């Protein structure tokens, strides 16, 4: 056992920062090839970051006691948007309590009840997709995942309130795409004169609308299926409901954690499927004959392995010395379970760079070898939500369209704030499927009632 940090690049910190931000996966691969696992990188203004990708070490990391590692402190950069009560930013007791309050709202069974609303919104979105020309799917998928969160999580109905909040949040999320959003918040006095002043004003206007929504929903007390309804009904251990600020912070957390992630993951899905005719044919066949969803599930597991949009779980700040995978780490170091690297380890996944859903027909995803949603007591709260959403979107798109690739080469990666998405937005060519045009000409089925 050793308490020296694992080796890593010795190039200047600025160059490491540039490499990590501009070519994230290539940089990680190079470090692994050169230094083995784990390795340590150093980025401007941050403590040493240790990349962990051995499954036994990942298990130690996910199972470490809550007072030893603090993921919440590691995610402070999100605070200006998600607020201080956000489950993502809490640690130890407060985190466990907040997570317990939120878990029922994101339970798999609840998500199934939201599926008719998700289907309706998906069908409406894809109605507008152009045929027979190259089309960048990412912005369209962003619009879809935003709409799903506003309707299924915030519980907004169609109308002026939904339109105003959608417009303001779209602006806010566009800001999140800019490199400025990666900087720590400036001191209060300065924030009035930097470009961030506009961001603050926008945030204040959004908060006003969200607090009004919470107030209205509390008064109304209606029986609804959306996530906000569940959060309004949740009680702390002493029997008190969540405060308006807690509710606001968790709504914004769901938005930040669940919007861009799912949109990018779906963009990768269609980009990959367009270039993998055998997979696409088998999947389209399963969808067309309604013979179950075994291959669809395997395809989603594979895309989450092959192109994890969050290349690592939340950074965990070491608060007390801890041994992870036989290495002793001192307080102050940050440990990252690296999904990209473990998912591309040939000892675990033969031919790891191939897109091959069949591998998940033979074996279920492993707890410490398949970690697109992180793990342990911090595992993504919205995993079921995202999986239901992805299944609905893939089914709807493939039932309606044939996909073809655009350009000879697969899309490279591009960092969008915290996610890694296709460099050209998942550009594909859509053609109407013969069976889809037949069913469009038959009488429309009765619309299912919206969940919200
Ligand atoms: C494909 C889509 C998604 C991916 C890949 C993803 C991935 C992740 C990952 C890697 C984490 C960190 C886990 C850890 O550190 O162990 C996380 C946390 C979280 N995610 Fe997701 N996520 C997705 C969608 C969503 C959605 C749709 C929602 C909500 C509607 C959501 C809500 C959350 C929350 C609240 C946390 C914080 C959990 C905690 O700290 O206890 N995510 N997600």
pLDDT in tens, 220-275: 977 899 999 999 999 999 999 999 999 999 999 999 999 999 999 999 999 999 99
**Both structure tokens of 294:** 């075994």
User: 98: Cβ below 6 Å to ligand 1?
Assistant: no
Mutate to test the pocket of ligand 1, among 336, 380, 381, 390 (most ligand atoms within 8 A of CB): 380
pLDDT of 177:
62
pLDDT of 111:
85
Q: What is the pLDDT of residues 261-312, one digit of tens each?
A: 999 999 999 999 999 999 999 999 999 998 899 999 999 999 999 999 999 9
Cα(354)–Cα(348) distance, integer angstroms: 13
Q: Which region, left, alpha or beta, applies to residue 435 given φ > 0 means left and ψ of -120 to 50 means alpha?
A: alpha
Q: Whose CA is nearest to atom 20 of ligand 1?
A: 380
Contact of 44 with 14, CB cutoff 8 Å? yes
The alpha carbon of 88 and the centre of ligand 1 are apart by a number of angstroms equal to 9
The alpha carbon of 375 and the centre of ligand 1 are apart by a number of angstroms equal to 10
Reference 122, options 389, 382, 303, 385; nearest CA is 389
The alpha carbon of 68 and the centre of ligand 1 are apart by a number of angstroms equal to 21
Which domains are assigned to the chain? 13-441 (1.10.630.10)
pLDDT of 371:
98
Q: Evaluate if residue 193 carries a pLDDT over 60.
A: no
pLDDT of 452:
27
Predicted TM-score (pTM) of this structure:
0.93
Region 192-212 average pLDDT:
83
70-79 long-range contacts, Cβ below 8 Å, gap at least 24?
70/316, 70/317, 70/319, 71/313, 71/314, 71/315, 71/316, 71/317, 71/378, 72/314, 73/317, 74/314, 74/315, 74/316, 74/317, 74/334, 75/314, 75/315, 76/184, 77/182, 77/184, 78/256, 79/185
H-only helix segments in 259-382: 260-274, 277-289, 294-306, 339-343, 359-362
How many contiguous H segments (helices) and E segments (strands) does the chain have? 21, 12
User: 181: Cβ below 6 Å to ligand 1?
Assistant: no
User: 270: Cβ below 6 Å to ligand 1?
Assistant: no
Exposed / middle / buried, residue 215 (Cβ in 10 Å: 0-12, 13-18, 19+): exposed
**Which range among 32-36, 209-213, 446-450 shows the weakest confidence by mean pLDDT?**
446-450
């Amino acid at each position: 056992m050793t308490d020296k940090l694992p080796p890593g690049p010795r190039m200047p910190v600025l160059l490491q920062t540039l490499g990590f931000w501009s070519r994230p996966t290539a940089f990680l691969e190079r470090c692994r090839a050169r230094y083995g696992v784990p390795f340590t990188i150093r980025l401007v203004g941050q403590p040493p970051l240790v990349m962990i990708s051995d499954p036994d070490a990942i298990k130690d990391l996910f199972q470490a006691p809550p007072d030893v590692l603090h993921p919440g402190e590691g995610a402070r950069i999100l605070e200006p948007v998600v607020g201080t009560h956000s489950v993502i930013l809490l640690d130890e007791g407060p985190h466990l309590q907040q997570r317990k309050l939120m878990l029922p709202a994101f339970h798999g069974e609840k998500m199934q009840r939201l599926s008719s609303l998700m289907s309706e919104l998906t069908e409406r979105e894809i109605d507008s997709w152009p045929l027979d020309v190259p089309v960048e799917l990412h912005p369209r998928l962003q619009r879809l995942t935003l709409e799903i969160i506003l309707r299924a999580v915030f519980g907004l109905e169609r109308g002026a309130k939904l339109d105003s909040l959608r417009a303001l949040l779209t602006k806010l999320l566009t800001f999140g795409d800019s490199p400025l959003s990666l900087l720590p918040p400036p001191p209060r006095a300065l924030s009035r004169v930097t470009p961030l002043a506009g961001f603050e004003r926008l945030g204040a206007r959004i908060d006003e609308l969200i607090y009004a929504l919470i107030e209205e929903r509390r008064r109304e007390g209606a029986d609804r299926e959306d996530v906000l309804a569940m959060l309004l009904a949740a009680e702390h251990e002493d029997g008190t409901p969540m405060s308006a600020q807690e509710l606001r912070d968790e709504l914004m957390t769901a938005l930040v954690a669940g919007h861009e992630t799912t949109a990018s993951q779906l963009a990768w899905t269609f980009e990959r499927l367009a270039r993998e005719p055998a997979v696409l044919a088998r999947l389209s066949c399963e969808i067309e004959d309604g013979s179950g969803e075994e291959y669809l599930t395997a395809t989603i597991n594979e895309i989450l392995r092959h192109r994890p949009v969050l290349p690592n779980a939340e950074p965990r700040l070491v608060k007390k010395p801890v041994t992870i995978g036989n290495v002793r780490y001192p307080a102050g170091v940050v440990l990252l379970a690296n999904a990209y690297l473990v998912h591309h380890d040939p000892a675990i996944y033969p031919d790891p760079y191939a897109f091959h859903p069949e591998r998940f027909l033979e074996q279920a995803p492993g707890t410490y070898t398949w970690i697109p949603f992180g793990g342990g007591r911090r595992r993504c709260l919205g995993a079921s939500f995202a999986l239901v959403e992805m299944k609905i979107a893939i089914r709807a798109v493939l039932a309606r369209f044939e996909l073809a690739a655009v350009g000879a080469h697969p899309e490279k990666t591009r960092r969008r704030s915290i996610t890694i998405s296709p460099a050209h937005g998942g550009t594909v060519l859509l053609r109407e499927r013969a069976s889809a045009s037949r069913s469009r000409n038959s009488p429309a089925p009765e619309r299912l009632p919206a969940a919200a």
